[in-house]
Amino acid sequence: MLKLKHIFLFFLAMTLISCQTEEKKANYAVIPLPQEVVLKGGNPFVLSQSTAILYPADNEVMQRNADFLALYLQESMGKPFSTHPYETKENGRSNIVLELDPQMDTEEGYSLNVEAEQITICGKSEKGVFYGIQTLRKAIPAEAKNAKVILPAVQITDAPRFGYRGMHLDVSRHFFDVDFVKKYIDILALHNLNVFHWHLTDDQGWRIESKKYPRLTEFGSKRNRTVIGRNSQEYDETPYGGYYTQEQIKDVITYAADRFIDVIPEVDLPGHMLAVLACYPEFGCTGGPYEVCPRWGIFEDVLCIGNEDTMVFLENIIEEVMDLFPSTYIHIGGDEAPRVRWEKCPKCQARIKAENLKADNRHTAEDRLQSYCMKRIEKRINDRGRQMIGWDEILEGDIAPNAVVMSWRGLEGGIEAAQLGHDVIMVPTSHAYFDYYQTTDTEYEPLGIGGFIDVEKVYSLEPVPSVLTEEQKVHILGVQANIWTEYIPDSDRIEYKLLPRLAALSEVQWTQPEKRTIKISLKDCLN
Ligand code: ACM
Ligand code: ZN
């Protein structure tokens, strides 16, 4: 009997010990680092089971923000949090209050005020409140199940440095399903990014359903085989394919929009079009035969700009893409389009003559043929109140009048474009190509495209070159990084390439440069 009593007392003691809740403290040194964090002293806020999240009544977007916060807190603390509309601020006692203040300065800015009685996140817009929620979520320990979470009193005032904070994903070389694309978008939201650049078409596969040209997915979304290794002579002889239906694309756009992320589609033209040529050989200069490309690289077979049917096809596709994607920006690629076919093609040469496209000491007539194509597409885009983005090759020839330049071969293209009065997004291979290796010890890394960009290198990018005048600097809209997927066959590898470099990128995009701890210089950036 005595023995039983001892056992009972032992288990009672163990239960009492395990019920004693561990304390965990919030840490406001989150990524990206907010502009201003002022610890106030005084009593902290204690997050408890009874803490509710309150939002203004009759505001669905704020309600969604509150639901996001509840979900994030639950992920960390392992228990549900309730959300309610509030009538008066009094409801806010011991709770987290989300509110809007139209008097605040910046569209994406927010304040996060933690006091013993209440946490308040305030933004000029719902978007700002969303970033305040991200900061709060990151400040709380990721793993705080059964813990008591203490938030020191603080006043955080924050706003992003750049309005364009992007991340790209190539889904042509390898295809990633909707579930993973949504996970990718969640990771971007966690880092305060606001653009997902979706590279949907390339030589190795067409990935958007087209109602007007169904062959593009029936046939153009599949390649018969894929080269093994770095363009060896061997192929895996395994068919590979995938595409997104228009319904799936709409679902992704809504998912991203709920997280204040614009989805910018890219249809890369007039080069990188072998998947289209495999479906419609008549759109090429030679007529083929063509194959949805099983290798990696830059290919001489590009679209025939001299063929009016090709141009009408492009215009129709861009219209269909604009019907699907509400984004202001539409990316039309424009990179890596060799001119050799155009030089020999009677139709292209006839177009050059008819349009009076002339060579000069900087550009060939064929460069101007590409500009002709870009300008025609830009007109369609501008006619619908949208704006065209192209890779920096669109500067070769005569740049389309309203085009935004995505500067990838360094910062130089961006500098030239800004000097010409064009808006610019900096995505230099020197700092922002996340398909590159992150280590020099490549022998122990999965096969990659090459290069070397580690976290520190990404972090050292200064996207606004000091050679620009103050007026020209305003044209630098922001920064992005790219993930090309020739050597990235699965989503685990994408995450490995994305993280932790995205953390460094997000501070380049969001945080003011004087807050960064590594000295940066234009010389480093112009490698
Ligand atoms: C690119 O990396 N070809 C834009
Ligand atoms: Zn041609």
User: What letter would DSSP give residue 219?
Assistant: T
Asked if residue 265 has pLDDT above 70, the reply is yes
Centre of ligand 2 to C-alpha 371, Å, is 14
Residue 497 to residues 23, 325, 437, 447, 482, Cα–Cα distance (Å): 34, 27, 8, 12, 10
* Active-site residue, selected from the candidate residues 99, 202, 209, 396: 202
Task: Check if 507 is active-site.
Answer: no
Average pLDDT (389-395) is: 98
User: Which ligand places an atom closest to the C-alpha of 392?
Assistant: 1
> Residue for token digits 């704006």?
387
Residue-level pLDDT at 236: 98
Helical (H) or strand (E) element with 290: none
With the most atoms of ligand 1 within 8 angstroms of its CB, the residue from 272, 426, 484, 486 to mutate is 484
Residue carrying the six token digits 């106030």 = 40
% of residues, the chain, pLDDT over 90 = 91
Cα 288 to Cα 26: distance, rounded to the nearest angstrom: 62
Cα of 339 vs centre of ligand 2, distance in Å, is: 10
3-state secondary structure of 330: strand
Options 291, 319, 336, 495, the catalytic residue: 336
Q: Is the CB of 72 under 6 A from ligand 1?
A: no
pLDDT at 145: 92
Query: How many whole angstroms separate alpha carbon 476 and alpha carbon 463?
Result: 8
151-167 core/surface letters (b: 16 or more CB in 10 A; e: else):
bbbbebbbbbbbebbbb
Q: How confident is the model at residue 17 (pLDDT cuts 50, 70, 90)?
A: very low
Instruction: Verify whether residue 422 is a known catalytic residue.
Output: no
| Cα end-to-end distance, the chain, whole Å | 81
Q: Of all atoms in ligand 1, which is nearest to the CA of residue 333?
A: 4
CA of 342 to the centre of ligand 2 (A): 5
Q: What is the pLDDT of residue 94?
A: 86
Ligand nearest to the backbone CA of 406: 1
The protein residue with its alpha carbon nearest to ligand 1, atom 2, reads: 408
> Is residue 454 within 8 Å of 438, Cβ to Cβ?
yes
Using a 6 Å cutoff on CB, does residue 335 contact ligand 1? Answer: yes
The residues with which 25 forms a beta bridge, in sequence order, are 150
* Mean pLDDT (whole number) for 52-59: 95
Catalytic residue flag (residue 336): yes
Alpha carbon of 207 to ligand 2 centroid (Å): 25
E strand segments, 139-269: 148-151, 154-158, 164-170, 195-199, 201-202, 205-206, 222-223, 240-241, 262-269
* Nearest ligand atom owner, CA of 373: 2
Q: Are 482 and 408 in contact (CB under 8 A)?
A: yes
- Give the largest CA-CA distance in the chain: 107
Between the CA of 393 and the centroid of ligand 2 the distance, in Å, is 19
Average pLDDT over residues 473-478: 98
